[in-house]
């Protein structure tokens, strides 16, 4: 009987050890950095200096020791970044696309983007009607980030329009939380509103017009009417955490 009790006790302890070990292993697996082979491809199309530092000329760019933009680090921790300066050639060939304050799209690019989303693409779009970030480059310089986003044709195709209240107070503040969505900073944001004429697109507008969640054909788009999130300073990591949450919402599932 003593042997039997000792055997049962030993078996119970072994089972507990296995459960604890499995839990630790699972936690370690969930928290480890994603290897390069496991990272999904993310196309990035932006006028913002996320992939490069603003410098007056190429020589200064080569000399600069400035660290990479926090958003680049955050994105490269989860994805294999594919920089795009056009939506045409090569064609959109990944499932995920981040458009952050893009330059105006050519008519053919609007068509390509619409077709890609409708075929099942996942889009996270930051469209700021009044960009507040400072820039090294003067007004009119082609290297300067897009001050006023011009995306009316594609937004109209999806049954949306982007409005701007010129009388709102300036200054960065956190967007109001709604439906457990992530907090993130905004500054002179726009307002998304429904408009007639959308084609096979169903958008739910939340946060008083700041965000639209759209189902477009077989794809999805999460649209944010501001781009202040990408301001260069992120000493406390809150901007990176907010970007992670928005990426998760846009691309999960």
Q: What is the mean pLDDT of each successive set of 10 residues along the chain, which is 253 residues long?
A: 42 40 39 67 97 68 73 97 96 97 98 98 98 87 92 98 96 73 90 96 96 98 98 94 96 87
Decide if 221 is inside a domain: yes
Looking at the 3D structure of the chain, how many domains does it have? 1
Q: Provide the sign of the torsion angle of the four alpha carbons 220, 95, 79, 137, taken in this order.
A: negative
Decide if 80 is inside a domain: yes
Decide if 90 is inside a domain: yes
Decide if 216 is inside a domain: yes
Give the rounded distance of the alpha carbon of 125 from its chain centre. Answer: 7
Decide if 6 is inside a domain: no
How much is the pLDDT for 43? 98
Closest CA to 218 of 124, 79, 123, 126: 123
How much is the pLDDT for 66? 72
How much is the pLDDT for 138? 83
CATH of the domain at 186: 3.40.50
Decide if 160 is inside a domain: yes
Beta strands in the chain (DSSP E): 41-46, 80-83, 96-100, 122-126, 160-163, 173-174, 185-186, 191-194, 201-206, 211-216, 219-224
How much is the pLDDT for 154? 98
Decide if 204 is inside a domain: yes
Decide if 34 is inside a domain: no
How much is the pLDDT for 38? 83
Residue 41 — φ and ψ, nearest 5°? -80, 135
How much is the pLDDT for 45? 98
The domain in which residue 133 lies consists of 41-251
How much is the pLDDT for 74? 97
Closest CA to 171 of 189, 196, 198, 150: 189
How much is the pLDDT for 78? 96
**What is the pTM assigned to this prediction?**
0.82
């Amino acid at each position: 009987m003593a042997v039997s009790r000792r055997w049962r006790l030993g078996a119970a302890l072994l089972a507990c050890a296995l459960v604890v070990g499995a839990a630790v292993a699972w936690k370690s697996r969930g928290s480890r950095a994603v290897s390069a082979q496991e990272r999904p491809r993310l196309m990035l199309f932006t006028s913002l200096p996320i992939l490069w530092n603003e410098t007056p000329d190429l020589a200064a760019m080569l000399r600069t020791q400035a660290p990479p933009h926090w958003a680049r680090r955050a994105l490269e921790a989860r994805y294999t970044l594919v920089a795009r300066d056009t939506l045409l050639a090569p064609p959109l060939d990944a499932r995920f696309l981040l458009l952050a304050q893009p330059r105006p799209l050519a008519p053919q690019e609007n068509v390509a983007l619409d077709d890609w989303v409708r075929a099942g693409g996942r889009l996270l779009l930051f469209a700021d009607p009044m960009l507040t970030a400072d820039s090294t480059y003067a007004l009119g310089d082609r290297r300067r980030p897009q001050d006023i986003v011009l995306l009316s044709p594609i937004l109209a195709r999806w049954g949306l329009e982007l409005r701007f209240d010129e009388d709102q107070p300036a200054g960065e503040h956190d967007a109001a939380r709604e439906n457990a969505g992530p907090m993130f900073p905004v500054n002179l944001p726009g307002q998304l509103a429904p408009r007639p004429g959308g084609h096979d697109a169903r958008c739910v507008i939340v946060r008083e017009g700041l965000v639209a969640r759209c189902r477009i054909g077989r794809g999805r788009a999460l649209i944010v009417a501001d781009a202040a999130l990408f301001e260069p300073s992120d000493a406390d990591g809150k901007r990176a955490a907010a970007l992670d949450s928005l990426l998760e919402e846009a691309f999960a599932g």
